[in-house]
Amino acid sequence: MASSATFAKLDAASSTWIGHQSFSSRPLPSSRLAPSRVSLPIRAGQYTDELLKTAKTIASPGRGILAIDESNATCGKRLDSIGLDNTETNRQAYRQLLLTTPGLGQYISGSILFEETLYQTTTDGKKMVDCLVEQNIVPGIKVDKGLVPLPGSNNESWCQGLDGLASRTSEYYKQGARFAKWRTVVSIPCGPSALAVKEAAWGLARYAAISQDSGLVPIVEPEILLDGDHGIERTLEVAEKVWSEVFFYLAENNVVFEGILLKPSMVTPGAEHKERASPETIAKYTLTMLRRRVPPAVPGIMFLSGGQSEVEATLNLNAMNQSPNPWHVSFSYARALQNSVLKTWKGQPENVEAAQKALLVRAKANSLAQLGKYTGEDESDEAKKGMFVKGYTY
């Protein structure tokens, strides 16, 4: 793509794109001023071809992302839930269990790591990154620096991490990462304020442009939190607003849409709303929102699970894949892939094999859901337990 596209140049002084507009010399009737006669500006970068290839690999049929990019503090919460201390050794044991699961690459195309894991080895001295690459799983890296209060807003937050990002992303590329993640949040009960939405969108767009310049496919994740007692219509309204701002700023920052992946929340009622919605309703609202806001140039939509139960997240994904979509519609779950694994492992070496099987069960179920073929039979009670925590922080 990069080699065949005609690149336009940015005139730094005027900050406008100068396209190579090759109109024919004979004026066309206005109805025939077809855009195909105009060279489309696309950001030229040394990595453009690779970005498109990486994004396509991650968005490959029947596969999705295993998100294990919890910060050390959040990983500590996971370990604490099974009575383990938050030590580097325990985090290594847990991540090793996940990343060395035999057969994982059949269902998982990418895995998002926390910085510690990107530089970590297994207890046998093998790089965690190599465990992934061997299974044709693309290594990814969380690059944001977390959320802090947004002054001037309605108790909302903004996501830090742009300072020094370009040097970090180049280092991560050298370490083997090929995609990145930046998670910011939008809270419906807090408004959301126009300021918070704009800040979220601008931060995501700057991060996306910087990541692409370093050869990393950016996952764009404005998580609309499940918190609140609002209905599904309100979530739809907020999601449309958020995604329109995000795409506005992505375009302003000349981000190559073919080389990004999205990580949206599904459009559901608030967690404290009086009624639950069926997977069909969630699929209808979510796809409506995406069709209205996401250009088909984007290769993949990789949903977060956001506190849904493992089974709910899989059923909802399955419902979204009952008819063809313009993009690959798949998963990038953390909680909805890890819950039964943790409960099976319990920190005991003799349970590692069973825990890896539990991971494969979830990965396969979501792979089937990506293909629209999940039936929901034989699921355990544990997998049906919701994981929503009010005011959850990552």
d(CA 374, CA 394): 29
Q: Which stretch binds ligand 13P (CB under 6 A): 8-16, 40-48, 49-57, 332-340?
A: 332-340
Question: Torsion over CA of 30, 32, 38 and 41, rounded to 10 degrees?
Answer: 80
* Residue 339 makes contact with ligand 13P by CB under 6 A: no
Smallest gap from Cβ 291 to ligand 13P, in A, equals: 23
Active-site residue, selected from the candidate residues 199, 221, 223, 310:
221
- The 104-123 site mask, x for binding ligand 13P (CB under 6 A), equals --------x-----------
Q: Which of residues 290-329 bind ligand 13P (CB under 6 A)?
A: 304-306
CB closer to ligand 13P out of 221 and 227: 221
* Residue 261 makes contact with ligand 13P by CB under 6 A: no
Smallest gap from Cβ 7 to ligand 13P, in A, equals: 33
CB closer to ligand 13P out of 192 and 306: 306
* Residue 227 makes contact with ligand 13P by CB under 6 A: no
Cα angle for residues 359, 362, 365 (degrees, 5° grid): 145
Smallest gap from Cβ 355 to ligand 13P, in A, equals: 18
Active-site residue, selected from the candidate residues 263, 310, 312, 379:
263
Concerning whether 126 is annotated as a catalytic residue, the answer is no
Concerning whether 241 is annotated as a catalytic residue, the answer is no
Q: How far is CA 44 from the centre of its chain?
A: 24
CB closer to ligand 13P out of 39 and 74: 74
CB closer to ligand 13P out of 95 and 183: 183
Tokens in use for 171?
């280092």
**Using CB under 6 A, which of 333, 341, 359, 365 touches ligand 13P?**
333
C-beta separation of 340 from 362 below 8 A: yes
CB closer to ligand 13P out of 91 and 335: 335
List contacts with ligand 13P (CB under 6 A): 67, 69, 112, 181, 183, 221, 304-306, 333-336
The residues annotated as belonging to the active site are: 221, 263
